[in-house]
Amino acid sequence: MDLNAARMSTLSLILAGGRGSRLKQLTDHRSKPAVPIAGKYKIIDFPLSNCINSGMRKIAVLTQYRSHTLNQHVQRGWNFLRSDFNEFIELWPAQQQTGEDWYRGTADAVYQNFKMIDQLNSEYILILAGDHVYRQDYSVMLQEHIENKADVTVACIEVPVKEADQFGIMHVDEDDNIIAFEEKPSNPPTMPGNPNVSLASMGIYIFSTQFLRDNLMNDAQDCDSSHDFGKDLIPLFVGRSKIKAHHFAKSCIPNDSYPEKPYWRDVGTLTAYWESNMDLTKLVPELDLYDESWPIRTTHYQRPAAKFNYNYEERIGTALNSVVSAGCIVSGSTVEQSILFNNVRVNSYSYVKKSVVLPRCDIGRYCQLTNVVVDSDTNIPPHTIIGEDPVADAERFYRNEDGIVLVTQAMIDALPKTDV
DSSP for residue 127? E
Q: What is the mean pLDDT of residues 199-207?
A: 96
Distance CA 260, CA 137 (A): 17
Q: What is the mean pLDDT of residues 194-205?
A: 93
119: Cα separation from own chain's centroid: 29
Both 114 and 13 in one domain: the answer is: yes
Sign of the torsion angle spanned by Cα atoms 274, 276, 280, 281: positive
Both 81 and 186 in one domain: the answer is: yes
Q: How many domains does the chain have?
A: 2
Both 267 and 206 in one domain: the answer is: yes
Q: Which of 24-33, 103-112, 228-237 has the lowest mean pLDDT?
A: 103-112
CATH number at residue 348: 2.160.10.10
Report yes or no on 54 lying in a domain: yes
Q: How confident is the model at residue 18 (pLDDT cuts 50, 70, 90)?
A: confident
Cβ-Cβ contacts under 8 Å for 88 (sequence gap 6 or more): 57, 58, 59, 81
Distance CA 168, CA 291 (A): 31
The one-letter amino acid code at 402 reads D
**Per-residue model confidence (pLDDT) at position 105:** 85
Give me the domain span that covers residue 363: 307-419
- Rg of the chain (C-alpha set): 23
Q: Do 368 and 349 touch, CB atoms closer than 8 A?
A: no
Both 229 and 313 in one domain: the answer is: no
For residue range 70-123, list pLDDT tens digits in order.
999 999 999 998 888 889 999 998 776 655 566 788 999 999 999 899 999 999
**Per-residue model confidence (pLDDT) at position 250:** 96
Report yes or no on 302 lying in a domain: no
The one-letter amino acid code at 244 reads K
Number of H helices, E strands in the chain: 11, 31
DSSP for residue 305? P
Q: Which of 217, 163, 147 is nearest to 3 (CA)?
A: 147
Report yes or no on 137 lying in a domain: yes
Q: What is the mean pLDDT of residues 30-49?
A: 96
Binding site feature residues for alpha-D-glucose 1-phosphate: 103, 168, 183-184, 201
Report yes or no on 20 lying in a domain: yes
Q: What is the mean pLDDT of residues 258-286?
A: 93
Burial pattern 176-206, b for ≥16 Cβ within 10 A else e, equals bbbeebbbeeeebbeeeeeeebbbbbbbbbb
Q: How confident is the model at residue 246 (pLDDT cuts 50, 70, 90)?
A: very high
Binding site feature residues: 103, 168, 183-184, 201
Distance CA 373, CA 77 (A): 25
Both 132 and 61 in one domain: the answer is: yes
**Per-residue model confidence (pLDDT) at position 419:** 57
Both 273 and 347 in one domain: the answer is: no
Report yes or no on 167 lying in a domain: yes
Q: Do 277 and 269 touch, CB atoms closer than 8 A?
A: no
Last residue of a domain, one of 239, 264, 279: 279
Report yes or no on 285 lying in a domain: no
Last residue of a domain, one of 279, 299, 316: 279
Both 230 and 355 in one domain: the answer is: no
Both 234 and 108 in one domain: the answer is: yes
Both 115 and 17 in one domain: the answer is: yes
Last residue of a domain, one of 279, 298, 319: 279
pTM: 0.94
Most confidently modeled of 103-117, 207-221, 397-411? 397-411
Both 73 and 129 in one domain: the answer is: yes
Both 227 and 361 in one domain: the answer is: no
CATH number at residue 271: 3.90.550.10
Distance CA 207, CA 124 (A): 6
Report yes or no on 288 lying in a domain: no
Q: Indicate the average pLDDT of the chain.
A: 93
Q: What is the mean pLDDT of residues 4-25?
A: 90
For residue range 275-313, list pLDDT tens digits in order.
999 999 999 999 999 999 999 999 999 999 999 999 998
Report yes or no on 293 lying in a domain: no
Distance CA 397, CA 1 (A): 56
Q: Do 46 and 267 touch, CB atoms closer than 8 A?
A: no
**Per-residue model confidence (pLDDT) at position 97:** 60
Both 66 and 162 in one domain: the answer is: yes
Q: Which helix (H) or strand (E) holds 129?
A: strand 124-129
**Per-residue model confidence (pLDDT) at position 100:** 59
Could you tell me whether strands 41-42 and 36-37 are parallel, antiparallel, or unpaired per DSSP bridges? antiparallel
